[in-house]
């Protein structure tokens, strides 16, 4: 069985295949760019997670100092106002503790979102990089003179679509990384 190559006609249409050089450049550039972006984004996200964790620890310590350590789940999940309602009085919660407790709640909320988005972004980018790396050895077979020229367009389309999805996830991650501390 012979496979069509560039210039052949199938059902009256000229076969369009991608040459080997274009495939190599496309797949390797996507893999390198996304791997680099993944590393930089992960570094910034991990730095931000560390700062958020220090706010959470400060809030937990502030609760411990006033004997309300068991109230952390209320503060974490519902916020400072819900904590005040739970303890039914502001005894022990002085105004100097308000910022630490509010910051702890906000840090937990941002930390959860950041962690989720970091994991989702890394997964999508890793799948795209993996697809590129797996496809690279098959470039000669997918090129115009190879045995699998019909596979070149779907592979390029898949990796480009995954790259666009990766960029969307990266932007969503950056939004959380740069979100100000409240």
| 58 is a domain residue | yes
For residue 53, give every residue at least 6 positions away whose Cβ sits within 8 Å of its Cβ, in sequence order, or none.
107, 111
C-alpha–C-alpha distance, residues 182 and 93, integer Å: 19
How far, rounded to the nearest angstrom, does the alpha carbon of residue 40 sit from its chain's CA centroid? 11
Q: What is the pTM of this model?
A: 0.79
Residue 42 sits at the vertex; the CA angle it makes with 40 and 47, to the nearest 5 degrees, is 100
Reading the chain (182 residues) residue by residue, the pLDDT tens digits are 455 555 555 566 665 678 889 999 999 999 999 999 999 999 999 999 999 999 999 999 988 888 888 888 988 888 888 887 777 655 556 655 678 888 999 999 999 999 999 999 999 999 999 999 999 999 988 886 667 778 888 999 999 999 999 999 999 999 999 988 66
| 4 is a domain residue | no
Q: Is the Cα dihedral 120, 125, 128, 130 positive or negative?
A: negative
The closest alpha carbon to 125, from 23, 24, 22, 41, belongs to: 41
Which structural domain range is residue 80 located in?
17-177
Q: How many domains does the chain have?
A: 1
| 6 is a domain residue | no
């Amino acid at each position: 069985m012979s496979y069509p190559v560039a210039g052949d006609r199938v059902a009256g249409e000229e076969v369009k295949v991608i040459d080997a050089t274009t495939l190599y450049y496309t797949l390797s550039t996507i893999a390198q760019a996304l791997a680099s972006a993944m590393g930089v984004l992960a570094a910034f996200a991990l730095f931000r997670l560390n700062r958020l964790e220090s706010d959470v620890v400060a809030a937990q310590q502030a609760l411990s100092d006033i004997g309300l350590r068991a109230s952390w789940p209320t503060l974490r999940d519902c916020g400072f106002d819900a904590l005040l309602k739970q303890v039914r009085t502001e005894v022990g919660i002085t105004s100097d503790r308000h910022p630490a407790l509010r910051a702890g709640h906000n840090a937990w909320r941002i930390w959860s979102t950041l962690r989720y988005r970091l994991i989702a972004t890394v997964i999508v980018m890793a799948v795209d990089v993996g697809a590129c790396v797996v496809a690279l050895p098959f470039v000669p077979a997918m090129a115009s003179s190879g045995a699998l020229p019909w596979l070149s367009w779907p592979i390029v389309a898949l990796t480009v679509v995954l790259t666009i999805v990766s960029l969307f996830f990266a932007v969503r991650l950056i939004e959380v990384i740069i979100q100000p501390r409240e």
